[in-house]
Amino acid sequence: METTAQCLPERGSASDARVRVEQAARILRLRVVEMLGPNTKGHLGGSLSIADVVAALYFVKMRHDPSAPQWPDRDRFILSKGHSVLVQYAALAECGYFPREELGKLKTLGSVLQGHPDIKSTPGIEANTGSLGQGLSQACGMAAGLRLDGRKSRVYCVVGDGELCEGQIWEAAMSASHYRLDNLVAIVDRNGLQATGPIESRFNTNPLAQKWAAFGWHVLELDGHDATAILEALDQADRLPGKPKVLIANTVKGRGLPFAENNAAFHNGHMTSEQYELALKLLGSEFSADRS
Amino acid sequence: MALRNCREIYGRTLVELGQQNRDIVVLEGDLGKSTMSCYFEEAFPDRYFEMGIAEANMTAFAAGLSLAGKIPFTNSFATFAAGRAFDQIRQSICLPNLNVKIVGSSAGLSDYGDGSTHQSVEDIAIMRALPNMTVLVPADGNETRAMTRAMAAYRGPVYLRISRADLPDVTAVNQEFVIGRPSIVRGGKDAAIFAVGAMVAKAIEAADLLSEKGISIRVVNVSSLKPVDEAALKAMAEDMKGIVTAEEHSIIGGLASLVTYVLRGTGLPIECIAIQDRFGQSAENLDRLYEEYGLTAERIAAAVVSVIAKNTA
C-alpha cells in the first residue's frame, strides 16, 4: 500500500513544502472525520485545530522513519494535549507506521488505537499523555537525555492553551530554561476554547507570549493554519540557540468544518449524519480529485 | 547490632552504580542533603538534575529521560515522592511501564520532628495499587545496598521506601536480595512475625522477649511488598500457631493487607501491628512516636501471645 507520505509532492522547494503540508493537512482532517464517523463522540475540535502543525512536522520537518520507529536519532513528537490524538493517529497511519485499516478500530476493545496516546499500543507514539500537563515534562526529560548522548534529535511537544492551567506546565517551563534545552520546541495550540467555553472567560491563561518569555523561552507567534508560517517558524526555531523555543500557534478549534469552528460543543462532541456527509464533501472531494 | 543509616548507604550505592553504568541519572527535589543523592551530584554533576521543589515535573521529566534510554532515580521525601507526584507516577511511568526508580526517603514516621506533613503513612498502599509497580522496603543498611543494586538491574518502575532513622543490622552484609522473595531472619517454631522496614528489628526484639517465656518465634522480612512470592509466604506461615504482621505504615493497604490476603482461608489467627488509620505528628524522637502508635517490641510480643492463645483456645 502506498502511503500518503509517498503520494504527496516532494518536500523540495519552499513552495513544494507548503503544498505538501496543505495537502497532508487536508487528508489528516478527512481521516479524523472518517475515524470518528457520524453520531460518535470524540475530540474533533482540538484535533482539527492542530492538523496543520502536525502535518508540517510529520510530512516535512521531522526526521523520522516509519519503517524503524525506534531509530535513536529520530526527532520526537509528544502530544501533551493527548485527547487530540486522532490527528496524530491519522498522521502515523498516513506515514505508514501502521495500516490505515487500524483507524477504523479506534477505541474498540483490543485496538492499537486507544482513546489517549499509549506507547505500548501504538507504533510511533512517543509518550503516554492525556492527564494534562505532563507531556511537556516528559519532553524536557527526553530532550535532556538525548543531549546527554550527544544526539542531534529535536523534541517537539504540542500543548493546549487550556492545558496551560496545569501548574506542572510552568514547572516544566522553568526546568527547560534552567537546563537550556535548546533541542526542545513547544507548540501551543492556541485555539482559545477549553472544554466548557472560551478560555478568556472560563479560566484565562493569557497573556501567553509574556509568560513564556518570562520563563526564559524564545517565543515565536504565528498563524497555526498557514503552512508557510508554520514551516518558517519551525526552521527559525532551529536557529535560535541557548534556550527552549515555544511557537504560539494561533488556531481555530474545529478548523476546516464550518459547523465546528469556534464551537466548544465540538471539544468532545459528535457530528450528525448530515454534518458528517458535509464534512466528507468539504474535505474529501478535492483530495479525491488529486488522487484520480 | 550495629546501627547504620540507610540514606547514607543508598547515596553511596548510587555512586557505585553510576560508576558501573553511565545511563544512570539522578533527579532531586531540593532535598539532596537528606536523601543523600548529594554524593551522586559530587561524583557525576552532568548526570544529576536538581529539579527544584517541583516533584510533579521531576517525576514526569524522569519518564522522559527513561524514554531516551536513561535509568533515572528520583529523590524526595516519601510523602512527596509517592503522594504529591502520584498522578505523574501513574500516567507517565506505570502506564507505559517505564524504567524509572522512585525513591521515597524519610519514610513512615521517621521524620519525627517535622510531623504529619512530612511523614508517610499511606505511601506503600498507593504504590502497591499501581499496576506494573514494584515496591521495596529495606530493613537495614545491608539490605538497602542490595536493594538499590537490584532495582537498578531490574527493568521497570520501582518504589523504594527508605527510613530517615539509623537502623540496626538484621541482615548479613552480603546477603543476596531477590525481588519478590521474603526471607527468614530468625528461625522459630511457634508463631511467625511478618515484618517490614524498621519493624523487622522490633520483631527480633519481640522474639527475644518471647524466647524468655519459652516461645519460639520465626521472623520473616517481607522487604519486597510487591511482587511477593505468595507460595513462599504461605509456606513460612502454615506450620505456625499464629501470625503477627508489623509495619510502620497504615493498617490499610500495606503489609497487613498483603499478609491477611495471602493467608486467607488458612484459618491461622492473625494480628496486625500498624498505624490505625491516623496521620503522624511531631515528637521529640522516633521512639516516642513508636510508643504513641503502638509500634514497639512489647506490643508485637503481646500480639503474638494473643494469636497463640486464640489458636489453643
Q: Is residue A224 within 8 Å of residue A189, measured between CB atoms?
A: yes
Q: Is some CB atom of chain A closer than 8 A to the CB atom of B21?
A: no
| All CATH 3.40.50.970 domain ranges in chain B, comma separated | 3-168
Q: Which residue has the higher pLDDT, B312 or A238?
A: A238
Establish whether this prediction's ipTM goes over 0.90: yes
pLDDT the model gives residue A1: 58
Does the pLDDT at position A127 exceed 60? Answer: yes
CA of A153 vs chain B CAs: smallest distance (Å): 11
Does the pLDDT at position A284 exceed 90? Answer: no
| pLDDT band, very low/low/confident/very high, at A14 (cuts 50, 70, 90) | confident
Q: CB A128 to CB B47 under 8 A?
A: no
Of B25, B69, B96, the CB nearest to A120: B96
pLDDT the model gives residue A13: 86
pLDDT the model gives residue B169: 97
Asked whether residue A121 is assigned to any structural domain, the reply reads yes
Does the pLDDT at position A159 exceed 80? Answer: yes
Q: A99-103 long-range contacts, Cβ below 8 Å, gap at least 24?
A: A99/A1, A100/A1, A103/A31, A103/A34, A103/A35
Q: CB B97 to CB A134 under 8 A?
A: no
Asked whether residue A9 is assigned to any structural domain, the reply reads no
Of A130, A148, A175, the CB nearest to B57: A175
What is the pTM for the complete model shown?
0.96
Q: Is some CB atom of chain B closer than 8 A to the CB atom of A168?
A: yes
Does the pLDDT at position A292 exceed 70? Answer: no
Q: What are the chain B neighbours of A130 within 8 Å (beta carbons)? A: 91
Bridge partners, B135 (sequence order): B159, B226
CA of B156 vs chain A CAs: smallest distance (Å): 13
- 3-state secondary structure (DSSP) of residue B48: strand
Asked whether residue A7 is assigned to any structural domain, the reply reads no
Asked whether residue A3 is assigned to any structural domain, the reply reads no
Asked whether residue A1 is assigned to any structural domain, the reply reads no
The CATH number of the domain covering residues in B183-312: 3.40.50.920
Candidate from A2-6, A180-184, A277-281, B116-120 with smallest mean pLDDT: A2-6
Give alpha helix (H) positions in chain A: 4-7, 14-36, 44-49, 51-56, 85-95, 135-148, 167-178, 199-202, 208-214, 227-239, 273-291
Asked whether residue A61 is assigned to any structural domain, the reply reads yes
| Closest residue of chain A to B87, computed from CA coordinates | A131
Q: Rg (Cα) of chain B, in Å, rounded?
A: 19
Domain that holds residue A113: 14-291
| All CATH 3.40.50.920 domain ranges in chain B, comma separated | 183-312
Handedness of CA B166, B170, B173, B175 (dihedral sign): negative
pLDDT the model gives residue B291: 98
pLDDT the model gives residue A286: 47
Interface test with A, best of B21, B46, B57 (most A CBs within 10 A): B57
| pLDDT band, very low/low/confident/very high, at A290 (cuts 50, 70, 90) | very low
Asked whether residue A5 is assigned to any structural domain, the reply reads no
pLDDT the model gives residue B2: 86
Of A119, A146, A179, the CB nearest to B68: A146
Split into its structural domains, chain A has a count of 1
Q: Using CA atoms, how far apart are residues B208 and B93, in angstroms rounded to an integer? A: 43
Q: Is some CB atom of chain B closer than 8 A to the CB atom of A141?
A: yes
| Closest residue of chain B to A170, computed from CA coordinates | B57
Asked whether residue A105 is assigned to any structural domain, the reply reads yes
pLDDT in tens, chain B (313 residues): 789 999 999 999 999 999 999 999 999 999 999 999 999 999 999 999 999 999 999 999 999 999 999 999 999 999 999 999 999 999 999 999 999 999 999 999 999 999 999 999 999 999 999 999 999 999 999 999 999 999 999 999 999 999 999 999 999 998 999 999 999 999 999 999 999 999 999 999 999 999 999 999 999 999 999 999 999 999 999 999 999 999 999 999 999 999 999 999 999 999 999 999 999 999 999 999 999 999 999 999 999 999 999 987 6
Domain B3-168 matching CATH 3.40.50.970: the answer reads yes
Q: Using CA atoms, how far apart are residues B279 and B62, in angstroms rounded to an integer? A: 29
Q: Is some CB atom of chain B closer than 8 A to the CB atom of A149?
A: yes
pLDDT tens readout for residues A34-45: 999 999 999 999
CA of A120 vs chain B CAs: smallest distance (Å): 6
Q: Is some CB atom of chain A closer than 8 A to the CB atom of B62?
A: yes
Q: Using CA atoms, how far apart are residues A126 and B173, in angstroms rounded to an integer? A: 42
CATH value at residue A92: 3.40.50.970
Q: B2-6 long-range contacts, Cβ below 8 Å, gap at least 24?
A: B2/B168, B2/B169, B3/B166, B3/B167, B3/B168, B4/B140, B4/B141, B4/B142, B4/B166, B4/B167, B4/B168, B4/B169, B5/B141, B5/B165, B5/B166, B5/B167, B6/B138, B6/B140, B6/B141, B6/B144, B6/B162, B6/B163, B6/B167
Q: Is residue B52 within 8 Å of residue B28, measured between CB atoms?
A: no
The residue-averaged pLDDT of A100-104 equals 96
Q: What are the chain A neighbours of B46 within 8 Å (beta carbons)? A: 148
Residue by residue, DSSP assigns A196-214 as TEEHHHHS----HHHHHHH
Q: CB B64 to CB A138 under 8 A?
A: yes
Q: CB B60 to CB A137 under 8 A?
A: yes
Q: Using CA atoms, how far apart are residues A201 and B158, in angstroms rounded to an integer? A: 43
The residue-averaged pLDDT of A141-160 equals 98
